Amino acid sequence: MNPIRTAIIGQGRSGRDIHGLALPQLGDLYRITDIVEELPERRARAEREFGCRVHADYRALLGRDDIDLVVNASYSCQHVPLTLELLEDGQNVLCEKPLARTAADVDRLIAAAEKSGAKFAIFQQSRFSPAYQQVRRVLESGILGRPVQITIAYSGFARRWDWQTLQSMHGGNLLNTGPHPVDQALTFFAPDVMPEVRCRMDRANTFGDAEDFVKLSLSAPDAPLVEVEISSCSAFPVPTYRIQATRGGLEGSLTELKWRWFDECEAPRQTLQRAPLSGEDGTPRYCGEELPWQSGSWTVPEEQSDLFLTMSFAFYRMLHAHLTADAPLAVTPQQVRRQIAVMEICHMQNPLSRLDD
């Protein structure tokens, strides 16, 4: 089988350190043939590292029939215009996150792909996070009962001063980091449900004009309350995942999880008592019982300890099957549209002044 001939736009932390690192390690599935990078020193480095053609302008990729896939790892604010032009040219495109700033822009991209017949995917590799997949397995087993609240937190304490702190560049924690936890959060709702969105954003430690604190609450009938926190002012670590459910709960990080639950059949039998509870001597008594707790735990396997590579490899193998055998995408553009729609509401609820105002 011939490898997927791949061009990468951008040689920043995503283009080089994620895509450029992962693709050469996937054997014969992919081959990097072209790199687009505006900085000459990065072009020279890419030519040395990948032994491929290098270009200063993405338009060098247009009209080509010797490229099977273009990875758009350009600046966030360029994701829509470059992807749109490439799709209209008939190129298959994998776009980095954030895909867009508005749902209307996602609609334009989906329509362009449908019109040209090009394949279109978004690099939402955190759907393949080993911890997230373990969380799904525990929930789907039913041992925790009905989930009442699910919290996903990507938080720490950090100051930032690069271009990804600027609204004009589509920066900020919600668009930079949010696509990962928001994508996971929305999987806890039915595919056709747009949850109610309540969001609070703030600027804490950033040197730019975009937010670096996000607290997002998603709710819908017959679904758990799902909260997402993305904070750069959390000095004390909080669990990445925390689940409260009717028969137990779960919490943990991207590398370790623990959960506990009880079996209702083994629990003491209780009935509602409307009269005040009293001890044998008539003194007031509070409800108290010993539940037969059981526990479980998970630690990321050693072979998956490099989380970036683990998620990237899984995503790219899935994408290869989609490109070569028309296998379904694990994360569809329509799913990402709902994610962008949620984040668009968050921005509307939290208008922030801009440095260029």
Q: Summarize pLDDT for 121-131 with one digit per residue, the tens.
A: 999 999 999 99
Q: How confident is the model at residue 21, as a pLDDT? A: 95
pTM of whole model > 0.85?
yes
DSSP state of 207: S
Q: Tell me what pLDDT residue 2 has.
A: 87
The residues, any chain, with a CB within 8 Å of residue 1's CB and separated by 6 or more, are 28, 324
| Residue 328: predicted pLDDT | 97
Closest CA to 35 of 65, 75, 5, 63: 5
CA distance to 121, 184, 338, per residue, from 320 (Å):
11, 22, 24
CA 52 to chain centre: 30
User: Domains, the chain, ranges and CATH?
Assistant: 4-123 (3.40.50.720), 127-308+340-349 (3.30.360.10)
Cα separations (Å) of 91 from 82, 107, 214, 310?
11, 18, 35, 27
Dihedral sign, CA of 123, 136, 330, 151? negative
Among candidates 336, 305, 317, which has minimal Cα distance to 131? 305
Nearest to 317 by CA among 68, 4, 12: 4
Residue 318's pLDDT is what?
A: 98
Where the chain has pLDDT below 50, the residues are none
Q: Look at residue 357 in the predicted model and tell me its pLDDT.
A: 56
